[in-house]
A and B are shown apart, each in its own frame.
Chain A
Amino acid sequence: MSNAPTPAAKPKLTFVQKCKTMRGQQIICTLVFLFVPLLLLFTFTYLPFFKMVQFSFYDRDYLRVREFVGLRNYMDVFTRSDCFQALKLSLYYMVGSVFQISLALLFATILSFKVRGSKFFRGALYFPCLICGIAVGFIFKFFLNPGFVLDTLLGWIGITNTPNWLENQAINNIVLVCCSLWKYIGQNIVLFIGAIASVDPTLYEAADLDGANAWQRFKSIIVPSIRTIVVLNLILSISGALSVFEMPYVVTNGTFGTSTYFVVMNKLAHTDMKVGLASAMAVVLLVLIVLVTIVQKLVEKWLDYRENRPHDYGVTKKEAAK
């Protein structure tokens, strides 16, 4: 506390006097107000996390510790056929998240300009985010069942020879990705709309005067202006893709090859009571997500660097080539 910087000119104050100064009061207030949220943060985030890291070095279940096994759980995660292999499924969801971001960007751009009923569509597109993920899972479970909603709808337009959406292993993961996309796209759209709203409208006017069409406006004004938000969304979506749980767990319970990393982890921890191994899986996943985030941050930095250097010939060359 005594390290709090005080103006050098003033005479030395005792601790109590310091506390009574404006600055001292500010610090005390901040500390008092911070205490509760920090305590909550610690108890419900950091403590469980440290415990989990600790668990990952033991062969144990929930109630009993069998033995300290060092790194064996981690070796198992990398050598078992079901743990790390399950991450391959995340590729589906990662590709899906790219689609999700592009689609969200498209909708957000359209809805940011004067479109009839844009308020309604904003609400409608955001609505799925408000429904509990488990409920969405159940909705799709019925939606996709053979002979139920989707097949009936397709039947109306003459498509009757539909595959079994959840059992056909060529498509069931793609179908689940689409379900996730439907659920989470609203969030991206809302963020993008917010970002687009902050773009200076005079830029559009200037672009109009220069005769720019909609695509050029989108490419040269909107995208550069909201790049930070797009990258942020991409990071969130990719780390989300690594930890997909709700959809495969509720819709298929991980059957027919839809068992993602989290579903495998859930079974190991809760059914087989291999809490140590499951904790190790969680730590590995955390490291992966941190890595992905770092890579994306680096890419962002690189983009920043490219944007901020003086307009070079690369651009003009491209333009000239057209």
Chain B
Amino acid sequence: MKKAMSLLLVLVMLTGLLTACGGGGGGKEPEYNGPSYAALKVGEDYTDLSAELRVITQRTDLVDTTFAEYVKEFNKLYPNITISYEGITNYQDDMTARLSSSNWGDICMLPTNILLPDLNLYFHPLCSLDELKDVYNFASNRAFDNKVYGIPSTGNAQGVIYNKKVAEAAGYTSDQAKLEADPNLKPMPKTPDEFLQFLQDIKDKTDAIPLYTNFADSWPMGAWDAYIGGCATGSADWMNIDMPQTKDPFAKRSDGTGPYEVYNILYQAVSRKLTEDSPTATNWEGCKPMMNRGEIGVMVLGSWAVIQMQEPDMNNAADIGYMPFPITQPGGEQTAAAGADYCFGVNKYDSEEGKIASMLYIKWFTESSNFSFDQGGVPIIKGSPYPDSLVEFEGIELIEDTQAPTELADLQPNVNRESEIGVNTDNTHVQRIVEAVVTGNETLEDIINDWNSRWNAAVDRYAPQS
């Protein structure tokens, strides 16, 4: 009996092993002869198409409300396309894992950790970049080899959220009329030094917490990385092309620009006690009503957060302001990084009808739902109006990071991962700056030196310079 059992065990294992090995890879990719995304006319083409779509999204908060409304609207045009939404909280990680099977659904938001050259392994090329780049902002965000794989859902501009009432009480305003009427008021800060003075004034003249770090929730701290590109350097090539080939990218520059200044603002603010008393006691959900009521002066977050700060009490919505990041380029102009939020992608293993239906929905969503405006985002359709919350960005040059050319496409992620700093992918390295002040174990210079040496080693491996 024992022998029989062990024999069976071995058999089961072997069959399992063989089937498992054979089962790798996805299914077969169906042929596609339908029209491209750009050529589709929503509301006119394929109105009798019937399909069942499954959309996977990171916006768990909108699945049952906004998105359900959208589906209803869309169904007025396309009654035979049924759409079901699924929200995933831990989106990026869970979605990456799910992509390894070919039947995860029809539409999802492209996880940004999939390298551009790999997009064609999972997603259907929607159209050529040439067809789209003059019509859509951020069209090149998820494009590779002149093929667009993702349509941006909305765009983000990188700036600083602040409470206008608190700012005024501290003696600052962005309102030109008020500035002219009251000589005691100052315009909003434009350089790191002015910004730190602004925080100091909030501390001295109001009861609000000048800068709320959101340290405890970890992920809001990752937002600081978003300012080291377009905002800090004014260069569209910095993030994806220059930085991964540059040694000592975090080093202090003499002209008061560059990534160092971004992290230094955080370091100085915590050192000068211009942040909350205990970083580990912060609370993301709790910070929204506090910002709304004016108990917090400033938070460093992308424009997507503006609406979330208005929502606790819409009567105070007008108090929430959004200003460009306080770094001024040597020429005296301010720049702001802008970019696409998550982009829609279509499953390449989907049937032809499924693909057409998916593209119709995405196109309707982008062009007719008004999603981007309602969410306070930078418009996707070129020439569409900006929402009120971004009014202070008028006249400021928005800089979208250029995608690296084909031969350098995976350079930035490779260097970033190899260095284990995790710019824009990890939060703990920004938290480390706060920790350094609280514990006194290291200075900003120590951290910057460590980052530089790790970054340099990664550059040596992936972009060796002769």
**B322-359 interface (Cβ within 8 A of A):** none
B207 beta carbon closer than 8 Å to chain A: no
- The reply to whether A31 and B428 contact each other, CB–CB distance below 8 Å, is no
User: Of A42, A169, A252, A268, which is within 8 A of B439 by CB?
Assistant: A169
A305 beta carbon closer than 8 Å to chain B: no
- The reply to whether B426 and A167 contact each other, CB–CB distance below 8 Å, is no
A3 beta carbon closer than 8 Å to chain B: yes
A318 beta carbon closer than 8 Å to chain B: no
User: Of A39, A62, A255, which is within 8 A of B16 by CB?
Assistant: A39
A26-47: CB near B (< 8 Å → 1, else 0) gives 0100110011001100110011
- The reply to whether A46 and B13 contact each other, CB–CB distance below 8 Å, is yes
- Residues of chain B within 8 A (CB-CB) of A46 are 13, 16
Nearest A-chain residue to B12, judged by Cβ: A38
Question: CA separation between A7 and B413, bound complex, in Å?
Answer: 68
- The reply to whether A145 and B96 contact each other, CB–CB distance below 8 Å, is no
- The reply to whether A38 and B8 contact each other, CB–CB distance below 8 Å, is yes
What is the distance, in angstroms, from B222's C-beta to the closest C-beta of chain A?
10
- Residues of chain B within 8 A (CB-CB) of A43 are 16, 20
Question: CA separation between A210 and B90, bound complex, in Å?
Answer: 63
What is the distance, in angstroms, from B84's C-beta to the closest C-beta of chain A?
27
With an 8 Å Cβ cutoff, the count of chain B residues facing the other chain is: 42
What is the distance, in angstroms, from B408's C-beta to the closest C-beta of chain A?
16
- Residues of chain B within 8 A (CB-CB) of A27 are 1, 4
Flag the segment in A119-127, A223-231, A270-278, A280-288 that touches B: A270-278
A-B contact count (CB 8 A): 101
What is the distance, in angstroms, from A106's C-beta to the closest C-beta of chain B?
32
Flag the segment in B147-155, B264-272, B273-281, B295-303 that touches A: B273-281
Contact A253/B428 with A46-B13, A47-B16, A47-B17 known, Cβ cut-off 8 Å: yes
Beyond the given pairs A255-B215, A256-B435, 15 more chain A to chain B contacts, judged by CB atoms under 8 angstroms and listed by A's residue number, are: A4-B4, A42-B13, A43-B20, A47-B17, A64-B118, A146-B278, A147-B278, A147-B281, A164-B278, A167-B280, A255-B428, A268-B420, A271-B425, A272-B417, A272-B426
Q: Which 3 A-B pairs have the closest CB atoms?
A: A145-B281, A271-B426, A166-B280
Query: Which B residues form the contact surface with A (CB < 8 A)?
Result: 1, 3-5, 7-9, 12-13, 16-17, 20, 93, 96-97, 113-115, 118, 121, 215-216, 218, 277-281, 413, 417-418, 420, 422, 425-428, 431-432, 435, 438-439
Query: Which A residues form the contact surface with B (CB < 8 A)?
Result: 1, 3-5, 27, 30-31, 34-35, 38-39, 42-43, 46-47, 61-64, 141, 145-148, 164, 166-167, 169, 252-257, 267-268, 270-274
Q: Could you write out 29 A-B pairs with CB less than 8 Å apart?
A: A1-B4, A3-B7, A30-B5, A31-B4, A38-B9, A38-B12, A39-B12, A42-B12, A43-B16, A62-B97, A63-B114, A141-B216, A145-B278, A146-B277, A167-B279, A167-B439, A169-B439, A253-B427, A254-B428, A255-B218, A255-B428, A256-B280, A256-B438, A256-B439, A267-B426, A271-B426, A272-B420, A273-B113, A274-B417
